[in-house]
Every structure is written in C-alpha cells, then in structure tokens.
Structure 1
Amino acid sequence: MISDYPKLRLEKASLLYKSTQVLKDISLELTPGESLAIIGESGSGKTSLAKLISQSAYPTSGEVENSFRTVFVSQQDHFSEIAGLASTYYSKRYEFHDYENPMTVPGFLQQLFKRLGNEQRSVAELELLDTFKVRYLLDRNLMQLSNGERKRLQLIAAILEEPELLIMDQPFTGLDLAARVQLSELLRQLNKEGLSLVIICGKREIPDFIDRVVLLKDGQIALEGNPQQISASNQRNPMINSAIAVDAILGQEPEYFETIISMKDVNVQMRGNPILIDINWEVKQGECWALLGHNGAGKSTLLSMVTADNPQGYTNDLILFDRKRGSGESIWDIKSRIGYLSPELHLYFMRGKGVLSSVPGISTDAKPYSTLSCLDVIISGYLDEIGTVSPSTPHQRAVAYSWLEMVRLTKLENTLFLDASLGEQRVILLLRALIKAPALLILDEPCQGMDADQIDYFKGLLDHICSSKHITMVYVSHQADEIPECVQKVLVLEKGKVIENGPRKKV
C-alpha cells in the first residue's frame, strides 16, 4: 500500500546564486507514487528546483526534506568525460584510430553494474536494451552515439539505479516520436508500480498520466494544478516581431554559390560498420531542407560531411560551395560559410578547456570556456571557435549585443554561459550560428530546452531570414511543429539510407 505521507517537502525554500534570486519561497510536497511536472519559461528556475529536490543544491533559506532514494537525470549527459575524452576536440568523434580504445557501451554498463554491486550481471541479458530498442548499441562506443541514443542510454542507467524518486530534466528532448511514446509508456508503468516522478518539460510535452503540474515564473510558483487546469490557463507572452531589426543586424546578403551541397553515392563507415550508404543529395542556393530520421539513422554523420568535421569527406564524391572536397579548399573556407548548432556542439561549450576551430594541436591565447560570457559565446561564431573566444573588435561586440537586444536577453551580456539556463544557452548558440550571416545554416535540434514562446519566435525569425536573405538552411528536428514554414524540401534517412527525398508536402 502506498503511503499518503509526503517523503518530499519544501517549505519556503529560496535559492540565491551569485547574489541573484533564482528561486523564492517554494513550497510543495510529494507523496510516494505521485507524479509532478515542472514547466515554465527558460530561466524560470526549473532545473534549479530539480537540484533542490534532488539535494544536489541546498536552499539559501527555507527547508527541503527528501527521504526518497533519488536519481536525477540531467538534460546534459557526461559520457564524454566518462569515456576519458573530456579535452578532445570536436571532430574527434569521427576520427577514432585502430590504436585507440575508447569506452564501449557494454563497458559503460559493466562499470555501472560494478558500482551498483552487481558485477556478475550480464549486459547481453539487460531487458531495458529491448525496451528502449537500443540493443544494437552493444557494438558502439560512447562517442559514436547520436544525441537521441545518448539520451536513451542515460535513462537506462538511471532506471538501473532503482530509485524511489526519479527526476528527469527534459527527458523527451532529442528522442524521435516512437522513442518518446516508448518512454512515456515506460514512465507510466513505473509510476503505476509506485515510482515517484518529477519531470521538467515543456507545456506541450506533459505526459497524460501526470498527477500535478507546477508552473514557475521568475523563480516562483505562478500556478499549480492538474494538467487540465494548467492547459486551460493562457500564459502566452509572444516575443516582438523583429523583422526590421534582424535585417539591419545581418546586413548584406551572403556570398552566392550555385550548389551548396552535392553528394553522389556517399558512403561512410566507422570501425567497419556502415553508417551512411549510397547517399545522393543536392542542395541549391536558397533552398531550405528538413533532415529527418529516427535516432541513429545517420543524420549527425551526414552533417559532419558538410561541416568538414568528418575526414571521410575526402574519399567521397562531395561538393561543398561549388568546390569538390579535397580540391585545395581548407576546413576554414568551409566553416566560414556555415552557421552551425547541434546538441553535441552544446556539450563542447559545457566541458574541457575549449578548442580553437575544432582543430587539434592549435595553441591560443583565447579565453577558455569557464570564463566565457554569453556575449563571448555569440562572438565566437565569427571565427567558428568552440569553447573559446579570441579578442573581439568593437564592431563584433556591438553586433552581438544587438542580437541580445532583439531577443530580449541583454541581462545575459556579462553572465557566464555556464550560469545561464539550458534554454537560454540554446538561444545564445543559435545567435552564434546567425552572427556572421552565413551562406548555410545547419540547425540540428535547435529548439531543445527552449520554451514554447521562444520556439515560435525563432521559427518566425528563421522564416524571415531565409526568405529575405536567401540563406540556405538544413534543419533537423523530431518535432514536426518545430520546423519553420520556409522548409519546403525533405530528406529522410533510415538506417543510413535515403528513403525519401523531395517536396515537404509529399513526404
């Protein structure tokens, strides 16, 4: 029998961070078997509240009591550090050599079994691999995993800890539709069996079995009720139309090329495993494409060929910006024409000392990641620096500040990137991709962590930029409602092969 006595209680809990009020007077309770969703705008304090609940952070004032055995699944994983690759450069995941021995998925799970005191358990007999449909990952290493695959492995590891309370920060981000349904059903079943749940998610992602929803605003509980009551409330706060402002910031139109991308029978393997198989794809100037496919379909690897991060681009029939790959162009020639954002790139801004332009062996006087402000991160887009920023010009800082003004985030100008909320960080990285008005925008799951208003705003912004400036775009998303209207062509991958290539209306 499940007790009604609360095992989690917050009483007027407040949290200050660097003299900033992050949470104020939070009072709530959770009983065994109860489920709670926490929603709110980016920067409203959702992750900070989850940290208080999990007791990975402690209140400045007030009380937090938690007698649950608790596991907190953060939005960002730490697999790169676990694999011993915390200081490697961004393109390293595509460049493993025979003499290297990166940590495998079975090796990671075996380490987890050992830590949990169940060293004799067989990885091959782990049923959760079938539940999440990732048994095929047993022949992969951690650094080869796509964003969605990493998320599912993260959740498997959490469930193996056998928590009484499972806290998940944005668990559905990065998962394809089928995986989201599977996860929701699994959580429903676990909750039915008595597991208490706290889920941080968007208003549109609240599972239908959730008992209670808390809406945060400016670090305080603005609304509390069941999902139906919260859905009925209208908390929309649309951002302003910035078409005129963005035209002034972007300036002149990008450099013209007839063919942005051309692939003919492109094949990519990693450690003998085929990742891309006979890919044929052509992108002309001004076209906007959606790149779709299930987790592990090969989307990230395909993009790595375009961004010059994958050395197998030299061994394939690949044309980028009207030049055949390997005909004398440098990596910088390619990257200088691309504005890029991905979940993996986000991870590289969150760890290590940062690297200059993704290239090993370069020494630099640039500021490392731990001292980068949000303005610095936007400026780093000029030179394609990842986790660092070289000394900037007054003009570059003025343009970066104009972008912050346009999205109403000037408060973050001098805030350390690491101290911004994950949703705010994703907005900052999107501005980084836009700052040099690139010929090609590659946006891989750009809306992860953003609230609904931010998503709608940036969809409109991208529609305007791509139509008025003739910028070419490749957009990756598992959520159909996040894809901008300007996207009129679709490439769909399945198990490394193209299964659809044509107009959006027909796919």
Structure 2
Amino acid sequence: MTDQSAIQLASLSVDFDERFRLIDIDWRIEPGQHWMITGTNGSGKSALAAALAGAGDLVSGSIDGLPCKVALVSYEAQGELIEAERRKDDADIMDVISEGTPVKEILFDGCMDHDLAAQLIEQFGLTALLERAFRKLSTGESRKVLLVRALTCKPELLILDEPFDGLDAATHRMLALHLQSLVGQVPMILVLNRFDECPEFITDIAYMDKGHLLHKVRRSDEQAYNELYQLLHLKTSALELPKVDPVSSLPPLDPTQPLVQLNEVSIRYGDISIFENLSWTIERNQHWQLTGPNGSGKTGLLSLITGDHPQCYVNDIVVFGFKRGSGESIWQIKQYIGYVSTALQWEYRVGTSLRHVIISGFYDSIGLYSKYTDRQREIADEWLAVLGMSDRASEPFNKLSYGDQRLLLIARSMVKHPPLLILDEPCLGLDDMNRQLVLALIEKICAGSETSVIYVNHHPEDAVAGIDQYLALGAA
C-alpha cells in the first residue's frame, strides 16, 4: 500500500440538502484498515460515504487526512451522472437530439491503467456497449461502467456503496476477487447492508443509526462482531415472529374487555404514600412506556397487575376480566403475562441449553423439567433464528453474555404470545451494543405481534418505535 496517513473525522456534522444530517461523527481510519459501513435503511451509511468524497454541507467539525484522489461509486453518484446526461438533451436547440456521451468516454475519463480497463471491460461484459450512449444503459449496466471507471483511475481511497447489488453470481465473485487483489494497494470502504457479503479483507466495521456512528468494531473482536451481526439481523430481518403453538395456546379472553383496568388505586405503607388515586387502562394492542424516578412506585404498580403485591386485593383492579379478590388464582392471571426483569435473570442461573430456555417459557419454569413437543422445539428454533442464534441452540445459557441472556429471556417470555408482556427495565446493566440489541427485539415484538407491551425505562434515548402510550409516575 502506498504511503498513507490516518483519516480523522472529529465531531463532524454534515447536512445533505436538509434531507439528512450526519451528527457528531468521530471516526479514525488508520493505514492498513479496510472498513465496512453498515446499518439499516436510512441510517446514514451512504451519507457517511458521500461525506468522505466531499458531498454535503459541512455544519461543524472536521475531516483531516483525506487523500486527494477519492473514487466513489454509489447509487446517488450514478443517478447524478445519468441526470447530467439527460440535461444535455434539455440544452439542445433547433430540435437536434443529442445521442449522449458514449460509454467508452465515461469509462476512460481519468483512466490510469488501460490494460486493466480492457481486462475489466471484458470481464464485466461491457465490450458490446462501448459505443452506446451511457444514459441508454440499464441500471445494472451503468453500475458496472462506474465500477470499472473507479477501479482503473488509481484512487488513493476507494469507496464502494453496495458494489455487489444487481450483479450476477459470477460477476459478484469476479469483483470480490479483484477487490481482494487491491488490499495492499489502496484503502477501501464498502457500504453494505448484508453481513454475508462482507469480504474477508475487511478489518473493521462501522455501524450507523439515525445519522450517528454508534459502533466501531474490529473484525478480529469475535464477541463484538457477533453482537453487531445480531443487531443488524434484528433490525433488518424479514423473519416474522414465530406463531403460537395451538396445543399450548392460552384460554381465550373476552375481546370486548381491556387487558388491565386500575381504578383510583393506591399503595401506602403506614403514613407513607407511594402513589394515590391512580387510574390506568391498558387496551388490547396498546404499547406503554412506564417511567418515573426511583421510589415513584413503578415496580409496585406492576406487582398490582401481576398479583404479587399484597395491596392488590384492597384496590379496584380488573385484569384479563378477573376482578381482584373474586376468587381467581394468581396462576389464572400469570398465564397471560410474560415478564422479564433483572431479578428474573439473576434467578435464571441454570446451565440448560438456549433451546431449552425458550421452551421453558411454555411451562413458566426456571429450567426445563417437562417433556416438550416437537412443535415446541420448532418454535424455540424459530425464535433462535429471529435472534440470529440458530447455530448456538445447544450452548449453555449460563455461559452467554449478559446481553444475550436478556434476549433469550425475552424470547422465552413470548413463546405463548401472552396478551401482556412486562419488560421491567430490560436494558438495565447492559452495555450500549447489547442495549440496542434488546431495543431492536422489543421493536420487533411491538410491530409483529398482538402482545401488548409495558416497557419500564428511565432513559428517553431508549425509546422504542411502536410504543406510543406513556405513563409517568411521580410527575407533577
């Protein structure tokens, strides 16, 4: 690789025609590194790549160390070139219709290696197109032209945004092999949605979300890499949440009744009032975020719903159609509730397999002590696929990271598709990566099931898409 200095982005914010903004990007690209930028649609992957090529309006911060010759191939750049060709028609006078710029002119604009250009033109199947007007090419054909042009201009930094999109399998392999051959010659940054397209030569991965560069992961850091893979999998996976097992399904509830109805309830300890005269109705398919300072009564309020608080029988509470104190058993109520908390995770200290942890949700047990059905096993494996853990089904639960354990317990709580899922501070104790994994799973549950969610959380930045009902305890 030619002499290269580090590229440093410091507190960089960039506007793109007021449509999108990169926000406070801190990123250092060291010599010898090759990066993959990933994230969900609209996260800012392409914007970050474009900013490195000089696009956008600098709002604040700086970029230092960029080489003079940066080659960028992207759908945006491709569209701009095609639009420029179309504008040539608009500029024509006397009804003279321009044929447009021929492909060969586009290809050889800035070409520094004609032998390589000839080789790639043949390999990409562009020989028969050289005399054709560029604007008359298909999207895939024009993409190939821009790839060849970028690869033959001897760039000092090569940025390829979704380079494999639209390529057939043979061309994909050919391009991947050619990029591999450039590893010692030029630093590369690839924007990719799919982890399975990440070439072997990539050394580092950047994860974008809502204009922020949230994670920078060394590919050699196996745990961090796996967590990032899971995060992207949960964010982008088209998998539907597994269906309920008819044999294990719950007795039906009255669809005309709310799930929970608390009428002017109070919790008092002697002369100390935790809260008073609180009314709360949770309808089917509503998702609630419950907030409040320490001591405001969040856990007590939840325990009134679950029946674990002794004062639930002196308050006016109707849960799943059962009026508290009317002779119902606590298990009649709890069968309709999935519950996840840090306390549950502390209790769940068994060494059973990941598959068995999920299956134990059918039996509301810590560990698995019952013979399960083939369908229950299938559903557990479907949940493992949603979590990106299919290849880890037989691993022991107590050997998992803290964040992975939390994901498994949420899946365990959902196997019966309970009408109500209570997540009591599910992000407590998690690092940033695992916190986002858990939030992504909650978002998937809110979007893909008929389970109502109560999500207890202290932090506004941990808001979940799909939760649009709010109850704040201790508020003035």
Normalised to the residue count of structure 2, the TM-score between the two structures is 0.47
Larger Rg, first or second structure (1 or 2): 2
With a CA cutoff of 8 Å and minimum separation of 6, indicate the structure with the bigger relative contact order: 1
